[in-house]
Structure 1
Amino acid sequence: MAVDPWTGRTASALQKALRLSNELFAEQLGIGVRTVASWHQKPDLKPKSEMQQLLDTAYERASATVRARFAELLGQTPVVPPDAEADDEARAAAELRLSADPHIGAALEWLDSHAGWEPGTSRRKVAAKVANVDVRGLRDRGARRGQISQAQVTRALLDYYGRGENGYGTYSAKFGDQDAATTVLTRGEWLDLAAPLLARSDGLTLDPAPFEAPAALDDRALDAAVQRLAETLELGTRLVNMPLYRLRTTGVVNSAVSGTVGIAPFVHYALTMDLLEGELLDALTNGGAGRLPLREYYLPHLEAVTQLDGRLCAGGVLALCAIARPPGLHGDADYLILVQQRSGNVVNANRQLAVIPKGFHQPAADVRADTRLGGTLLREMEEELFGRDDVDNTLGDQRAADPMHPSRLSEPMRWLLERPLGERLRMECTGFGLNLVSGNYEFPSLIVIEDEEFWLRFGGQIEANWEASNLRRYSTLDTDLLSDLLADVAWSNEGLFAVLQGFRRLADLGGHRVNLPAVEWELT
């Protein structure tokens, strides 16, 4: 099969068929990692002639199994080699990546340690699993999972955990004649914070004490972790072992965020708590929640959810983004609201609606200074809205001493930060909660770009990155469409939490620019 010409889409398909990370694919071709990343971000891009030749060579050198996978990814009928050859090549390809990818290597090392296995045991177990992974079956499973709504997940978890006690409850809200419930466990004093970020009220601090994880996982947890790594290899999912902040203690008082965070490796989260959502979705696709052995092991009851320092509690910061626009073809002066549908290649909120920006709370370079929520939000804006791929640690190692130094900022971000925070750019935390889906902490926030000159200067440069499959826009004067948006069944739980809390705060700030649905929250 010849590809003429190669595009970003077909080049990315070849990379996926080869089961190579961005770094390893770039190394094989002899090009830069950013070039490979650009193919994912711009599928219609046609590489230059010399790049076309490199891709031709890579395809011609590929095995029959790889070519069959490549054809299948492009929706064509693959020529499948004999089963024995396919199994041998699958094992060889798995061993190659397991040995060459440092992030997968870190996951294997972590797994050996927490299983009490001899070094190398997890590599052999994962390689054996790879040979038996049914890629089509995984895609079918992904489609089935995508049919489970946020409301179904919420009902299942409310049935599993029951009602909150001692001031805790799950967040729900009413707007117009409709209502919405979420899986976010919260308290009344954790809501409507209006806490300015990158200020004294942005007060998480670092506790460097090591996390004492369980010495050994049980057999169910180990088997699920091995299966997760095998599926990661087969599907080409990005697994980058960067440090995450894990919440140890929290206190939200007087409209301020406080508490302590420690550090945990991303592979710990990916191979443990992140497995809970998939287990639940699979159970629901089979007609009901039934038994959930991983949930029984990691988060068996609400007490386990709220005892933060006894478990891994990773999480993130996500923000409703509102950009002031002057009167124009769209109508009167308003704010533009941006909403993303998440890509199928992300770990969190896969294929669901979410606000943008959204990201894990993690350090970029300085583990102590980067604990502030506002710093994470600024980085996520650079990555997800302003096109900075050198901040995104999923595309390569972080080598810059300060990736958010003023000299490295994008033009839109530099313009926003030329004035003190609050003049052109307002950032506030609107609440806090613990998501029952995976036990994650969630800090919903609001970003408001107040100066309408920003839209005139930079509106055409705003573009979602690879983490989103599409970007939606809404006017804050269009009440009917906004009500429909809140009622959309495709929301992630944390996304719905953030947009509802964001609407409440923006209604107070927006003046004549807004005509938002009135949102009233309650705890269940």
Structure 2
Amino acid sequence: MEQTSDWTGRSACALQAASRLSNESFAERLGIAVRTVATWHQKPNLRPKSEMQQLLDTALEQASPSVRERFAALTSGSSDDERARSDGERDEAVTEAEQRLSSDQNIVAALDWLDRQSGWQPGTARRKTAARLVGQNAHSLQDRGKRRGRVNQRDIARALSEYYGDRTGSYGLYGATCGRDAGITSSVLTCPEWLDLDASLVAANDRLTVTRAAMDSSRSLDAEAAEHAVERLTETLTLGTRLVDMPLYRLLGTKISKGLISGSVGIAHFVEYALTADLLEGELVDALASGNATQPGALPLRDKYLPNLDAVLDLPGRLCAGGTLALCAIARPASPYRGEADYLLLVQERSGHVVNAARSLAVTPKGFHQPLTDPRSDAQVGATLRRELEEELFGREEIDNTVGDQRKADPMHPSRLSGPMRWITEHPECVRTECTGFGFSLVSGNFEFPALIVVEDEEFWERYGGQIEANWESSNLRQYSSLDRELLTELVHDVAWSNEGLFAFLQGLRRLSELGGERVALPDVEWEMR
């Protein structure tokens, strides 16, 4: 079925004529006001807004073959003057798109970075993105998102296992058995020394240090990589995905052992990550959704940025961003309706507007490891975890750097904390926060610090349970009982997990089974290298 990707008042009226409908009937068909149809007749060169473009796309798609034939006949015979007007209208639309790009400081930063790293003259990335933005069809991108949503955790893990081949040294893909004969394999590269760390996230054990505070943007882009970056910016703007050029930590080296997290980090631009390493996920999932090959040589961006396991482990030689994510377990008292005292376990369904792991299951909180105001002290993994708790579950929107500028000297000062976070800081003996492992997600090469947060005093839930609410990064927040072995076993085997989310969930269950006492009846989880 042919569609027009650039509706005007003239082509909309052509669809009306082909459908042989009055203004009123056509407006009713589209679900819009009659005056809108009248405006199209009065202003044939008018380009409807994106929402209206999608309605017209749908109307054309659902039209009968005879209507589509008449529409094609009405729109295929444009005169030279009409084509000239159309070219002029497109030039005007491109100019408007460039103005839109210039009004967003984060997009401006991304375009400037892209010009520099591609060796383009200043303004080239802006013009290329604006031209694509005018011709972009949001409806087709939404359809692609639905196709991507059909690719599950097992599909991704299987494809990456085949792409990278055999294990190297002690490193392998994290796998586990849980309640069923069929084992689980993830796409997280790890090793035995990085698992079951039980590292309490306090200063003595949480010791990542900043060794290079200046932002590093030395990677150059070839023509193919630059065009993929332009396409990413176009899609981001069309779909309304949040992209904010805040600094983030890049991992340069690690020294991780039982009870200890140490290593070195530098500072990178978020846009550098978003326009390079983060593109690997979309490339892989699109290939899987289309039934295309995923072996080496078939994925150009992966072949360039992350071609083998040696490249994954070469931290100084690549941009390795990442973050931390935690399984939250909150003690609840016994209830005549629910039953015995237990722990509430929280799992989120990720929104379609997040940068990575969109529309997947994950534990919560989950966030990029990045400085808030103090690059040195914020390098602790626990600092990011506390911030994400405030933002994702306790409602502190002011520390969400995707929403507005950060102007507070100390956003996590005790006087500014939410009620739930203040209770946690004032009752350290009642809260356990531990890192349960470490690994690299082969989806995009990110480092991952899975963690477990256990609130052991029932008072917290009684006082603040009603205030716990997911932020915009989640489309839904699920709760599970630590006593529901059967349901948790089913959850473990759900193919909707992100790979890093499943890694954190399984490691969290392992540690909680050791700590939970009579409050838990968890499925038995045993990890293995695959």
* TM-score past 0.5 threshold: yes
Contact 1:250 1:259 in 2 (8 A): yes
Residue of 122, 132, 135 corresponding to 2:135: 132
- 1:224 counterpart (225, 228, 238): 228
Is the aligned partner of 1:286 residue 2:290?
A: yes
Equivalent of 1:259, from 247, 263, 272?
Answer: 263
* 1:201-240 deviation per Cα after TM superposition (whole angstroms, max 9, x unaligned): 1110101165655552111111100111111111111110
SS across alignment from 2:399: coil
Equivalent pairs: percent with the same residue? 60
Match 1:355 to one of 363, 374, 388: 363
Distance 2:94 2:318 in 1: 34
> Which of 409, 427, 431 matches 2:433?
427
1:488–1:149 distance in 2 versus 1, CA, 3 Å: same
Choose 236-245 or 130-139, whichever is displaced more: 130-139
Q: What is the alpha-carbon distance in structure 2 between the residues aligned to residue 289 and residue 477 of structure 1?
A: 43
**What is the aligned counterpart of 2:165 among 151, 162, 165?**
162
SS at match of 1:167: coil
Q: Report the TM-score when normalising by structure 2.
A: 0.83
1:189 is matched with 193
Distance in 1 (alpha carbons) for counterparts of 2:47 and 2:359: 29
Quick check: 88-97 or 486-495, which moved more? Answer: 88-97
Q: Aligned equivalents of 1:106 and 1:181: distance in 2? A: 39
- 1:243 and 2:247 are equivalent in the alignment: yes
Query: What letter matches 1:384 in structure 2?
Result: E
Cα distance in 1 for partners of 2:361, 2:416 equals 30
Check 1:327–1:76 CA distance in 2 against 1; reply closer, same or farther (3 A cut).
Answer: farther
1:175 CA drift (Å): 0.5
Q: Could you report, residue by residue, the CA deviation over 1:434-493 in whole angstroms, capped at 9, with x for unpaired residues?
A: 111100000000001111111111111111010000000000000000001101110000
1:481-496 paired onto structure 2 within 5 Å: 481-496=487-502
2:184 to 168, 180, 199: 180
Task: Measure, in 2, the Cα distance between the counterparts of 1:68 and 1:373.
Answer: 41
Deviation at 1:72, TM superposition (A): 4.0
Q: Does the 8 Å contact 1:65/1:89 carry over to 2?
A: no
Q: Does the CA-based 8 Å contact 1:167-1:187 persist in structure 2?
A: yes
Contact 1:338–1:355 (CA under 8 A) maintained in structure 2: yes
Partner residue of 2:528?
522
Name the SS of the counterpart of 1:390 in structure 2: helix
Contact 1:115–1:216, Cα closer than 8 Å, also in 2:
yes
Distance in 1 (alpha carbons) for counterparts of 2:243 and 2:281: 17
2:490 alignment partner AA: D
Decide which of 477, 480, 501 is 1:474's aligned counterpart.
Answer: 480
Is it true that 1:411 corresponds to 2:411 in the alignment? no
Q: What is the rounded CA distance, in whole Å, between the counterparts of 1:64 and 1:150 in structure 2?
A: 44
| Residue 448 of structure 2 is aligned to residue 448 of structure 1 | no
Aligned to 2:153: 150
SS of structure 2 residue aligned to 1:490: coil
Distance 1:90 1:489, change over 3 A: farther
The structural deviation recorded for 1:130 is: 1.1
For the residues of structure 1 that align with 2:405 and 2:213, how far apart are their CA atoms?
25
Could you say if the C-alpha distance between residues 131 and 431 of structure 1 is closer, same or farther in structure 2, counting changes exceeding 3 Å? same
Cα distance change, pair 66–502 in 1 and its aligned pair in 2 (3 A) = farther
Structure 2 residue 375 is matched with structure 1 residue 367: yes
On the 8 A contact 1:280/1:289 being kept in 2, the answer is: no
Q: String of CA shifts for 1:324-374, please: whole Å, max 9, x gaps.
A: 000012110000000000000000110000000000000000000100111
- Cα deviation for residue 254 of structure 1 reads 3.4
Aligned to 2:51: 69
Q: CA deviation at 1:92?
A: 3.4
CA distance in 2, matches of 1:370, 1:118: 36
Is contact 2:208-2:380 (8 Å) kept? Answer: yes
Q: Which blocks of at least 5 consecutive residues in structure 2 are unaligned?
A: 1-44, 61-70, 76-84
Shift, 1:70, TM fit: 5.5
Residues 227-266 of structure 1, C-alpha deviations (whole Å, 9 max, x = no match):
1111111111111000000000011123210000100010
Q: Is the 8 A contact 2:249 2:370 kept in 1?
A: yes
Describe how 1:51-90 pairs up with structure 2 within 5 A.
Answer: 65=47, 67-69=49-51, 72=54, 87-88=90-91, 90=93
Which amino acid is the alignment partner of residue 189 of structure 1?
E
C-alpha contact (below 8 Å) 2:94/2:130 kept by paired residues: yes
Cα offsets for 1:2-28 (capped at 9, x unmatched): xxxxxxxxxxxxxxxxxxxxxxxxxxx
Residue pair 2:54, 2:138 contacting (<8 A) in 1 also: no
Is the alpha carbon distance of 1:89 and 1:430 closer, same or farther for their aligned partners in structure 2, counting shifts above 3 Å?
farther
What one-letter code is carried by the residue in structure 2 that aligns with 1:340? Q
CA distance in 1, matches of 2:515, 2:46: 60
CA 1:221–1:476 in 2, change beyond 3 Å: closer, same or farther?
same
Q: How far apart, CA to CA, are the structure 2 residues paired with 1:488 and 1:86? A: 49
TM-score by length of 1: 0.84
C-alpha distance 76-424 of structure 1, shift in aligned 2 (>3 A): farther
SS at 1:417 equivalent: helix
User: Which residues of structure 1 form unaligned runs of 5+?
Assistant: 1-62
2:316, 2:449 → 1: CA distance?
18
Q: Which digits, 9 at most, give the CA deviation of each residue in 1:140-189, with x for residues without a partner?
A: 11110000011000000000001221110010000111421100000100
One-letter code aligned to 1:470: N
The answer to whether the Cα contact below 8 Å between 1:387 and 1:463 also exists between their aligned partners in 2 is: yes
